Amino acid sequence: MISENTEIGLLFDHARPERIGLPEAVFCQGKHISVLEKLLRESAAGRSRPILFTRLAPEVFAQLPAELQAQVNYHPLSRTAFSQSLSRRSTARVAVVSAGSADAFVTWEAARTLEYLGINYEVFEDSGVAGLWRLATRLEEINDHQVVIVVAGLDAALASVLGGLTPKPVFAVPTSVGYGQAQGGLTALNSMLVSCSPGLGVFNIDNGYGAACAAARVINLLRAEAE
């Protein structure tokens, strides 16, 4: 147990943007509330570069002082928070396509990460292939984006279908949504990994943050080549 008097070292990796073009993020799950409060205060005070906080559960955020909560841009569904975001430097856009609203906690983790990174995005929810017309009617608009993130649970068929319909880079995220044999997202992960759609990039279960960072690398490369 961490006491309130314990000194906590703040070792933010502020050189990360220069190395890889992406800023640091703090994974909040499992961290003591006193650690999170100190990290959030450091970020909110503007003494550091922008920091994204992921997996910050609503019940944990509610334990923070009200005055600190007011300084943070918090999104309970995605469990993300930041005090500052990066400025937009490109007109390129990312489509975040989800199979169903049950996947929204992952969908919006990806979308919020893109927002924090200063990247334009559009969310297309409820595009699952059980009602294929929903995807078909949106396909032209989805293909108007430079990168596509696909979020799906259950059998995750959306990733294979969309991967075969768009020429854009596709990053697929399996979610832990589903009954029994969905096995907490393992079935969706395996389905994406054995997809017959070539060139599909697959991320860990529920890792919307990782997919958004991959999309950002593509957008950053397009921007650098255009300059």
pLDDT score, position 1: 34
> Is 11 within a domain?
no
> Is 2 within a domain?
no
The rounded percent of the chain whose pLDDT value lies above 90 is: 69
Mean pLDDT of the chain: 88
Identify which has the larger pLDDT, 100 or 48. 100
Mean pLDDT of 17-36: 84
pLDDT score, position 20: 66
Residue 48 predicted with pLDDT over 80: no
pLDDT score, position 42: 84
Domain of residue 69, residue span: 16-82
pLDDT band, very low/low/confident/very high, at 43 (cuts 50, 70, 90): confident
Asked if 69 and 47 sit in the same domain, the reply is: yes
pTM score of the predicted model: 0.88
pLDDT score, position 3: 40
pLDDT score, position 12: 61
Asked if 142 and 208 sit in the same domain, the reply is: yes
* CATH code of the domain in which 168 resides: 3.40.50.1970
As for how many domains the chain has, the answer is: 2
Tell me the DSSP string of the chain. Answer: ---TT--------TTHHHHHS---EEE-TT--HHHHHHHHHHHHTTSSS--EEES--HHHHTTS-HHHHTTSEEETTTTEEES--PPP----EEEEEES-GGGHHHHHHHHHHHHHTT-EEEEE-S--GGGHHHHHTTHHHHTTSSEEEEEE-TT-HHHHHHHTT--S-EEEEE-S-SSGGGGGGHHHHHHHHT-SSTT-EE--TT-HHHHHHHHHHHHHHHHHHH-
Asked if 204 and 100 sit in the same domain, the reply is: yes
Asked if 191 and 171 sit in the same domain, the reply is: yes
pLDDT score, position 2: 37
In sequence order, the β-bridge partners of residue 94 are 121, 147
pLDDT score, position 170: 97
Give just the sign of the alpha carbon dihedral 181, 182, 183, 188: positive
Asked if 155 and 222 sit in the same domain, the reply is: yes
pLDDT band, very low/low/confident/very high, at 67 (cuts 50, 70, 90): very high
Residue 61 predicted with pLDDT over 60: yes
> Is 122 within a domain?
yes
Asked if 38 and 121 sit in the same domain, the reply is: no
